[in-house]
Amino acid sequence: MTYDAILPAGGTIPDDYAAKVGTNKKPLVVIDGRTVLATTISALRESGLVRRIVVVGSDEVLAHADAKGADIVLPEGVSGPDNIYRGLKALLESDLPPEKVIIATTDLPFIDANVVQRFVIACSEGDFCVPMVTQEEYETRFPGTQATYVTLRDRVCTAGCMYLATVSGLKAARPHIENVFEQRKSKIGMAKLLGPVFLIKFVLKRLTLADVEKKITDMLKCTGSAVPGSPPELVFDIDYLEDYEYAVAYAANAADLR
C-alpha cells in the first residue's frame, strides 16, 4: 500500500544559527552535502511507500531546486496546522484523493528509506499513529544529545516527528489540533487542555502509555496509538545551532567509518 505525504516545510532558525548556515529556513539547512528538505523527500521516495509528496513552505523554500522533487508545492499559511491542512486540501481536490497520509517535518537530517519503512509498517489501525522512542533508545543512537522526555510509570520516552493519519481523523481533529497548537506555549492553557487527573498522574509519575493514548483520543476526538520502538532518527531534529553542529560532526564521523 502507498500513501501520499505532506511536508509542512515552515520553520525559521535563530539569527546566530542562520548566520552560520547561510539561511534562516530550517528545511534548507545543508548537512552531509544536501538540504534536510532533499533528505526528507529522498527518504520518502526511496521507501516505496509514497505516491505523491506535497511541500508547503515559504517562497524561498519553494523556489529552491530541492523543492522540485515534490509533486505539489504550496505557499505556507499562518501556522503549522494550517500548512498541513493546505496540503490535505490539495490532495483531496486531486483525481486520486487519499484515505491516509504521512505527515513529516522537514528538520530530520538522519531519516532514510529504512526509517520510513520501519515506522509506517509498524503502525496499527487508528486515525493517528505517533512514533514513540525511549530515552535509552534515543541516547544510544545519538549519544550526548538531549530530548524532551515524558516520564511514564514504566518508561521514559519522547515522540517523533512523522505521523500516519487518516483523512477522516484529520478532518475531525482540525479544531482540536489548532487549539493545542495555540496553547502549546502556555502552561495554564495546556493544563486546562490536559485536565487535573492527567496532570496529577504525570506529576506522580503514574502515567502509562495507555493513559497518554486515551488523552490524545479525548483531546482530538478521534482514535490514536503510539508506536513503541520507532526509529530514533524520527526524534533528532535541528532546531538549534548545537543540534546542527552535532549533526555535522555525526555525519562526518559516519562518513569516515564507511
Q: What is the pLDDT of residues 119-157, one digit of tens each?
A: 999 998 889 998 999 999 999 999 999 888 888 888 888
pTM for this structure? Answer: 0.90
Asked if residue 66 lies in contact with residue 38, where contact means CB atoms within 8 angstroms, the answer is: yes
Domain boundaries along the sequence of the chain: 3-251
Bridge-based pairing of strands 162-166 and 100-104 is antiparallel
Distance CA 38, CA 30 (A): 9
- DSSP letters along 63-102, please? HSGGGGGSSEEEE--SSHHHHHHHHHHHHHTSSS--SEEE
The architecture of the domain spanning 3-251 is Alpha-Beta Complex (3.90)
CA angle (181 as vertex; 178, 187 as ends), nearest 5: 135
Nine cell digits for residue 41: 523527500
Bridge-based pairing of strands 100-104 and 3-9 is parallel
119: CB partners within 8 A, 6+ apart = 131, 160, 162, 164, 227, 230, 231, 234
At 173-193, the pLDDT tens digits run 888 777 766 655 564 665 566
Highest mean pLDDT, choosing among 127-136, 190-199, 207-216? 127-136
The percentage of residues in the chain with a pLDDT greater than 70, rounded to a whole number, is: 90
**What's the pLDDT score for residue 21?**
97
Distance CA 88, CA 105 (A): 15
**What's the pLDDT score for residue 212?**
77
Query: Residue 59 pLDDT more than 80?
Result: yes
Mean pLDDT of 19-27: 96
Distance CA 35, CA 245 (A): 15
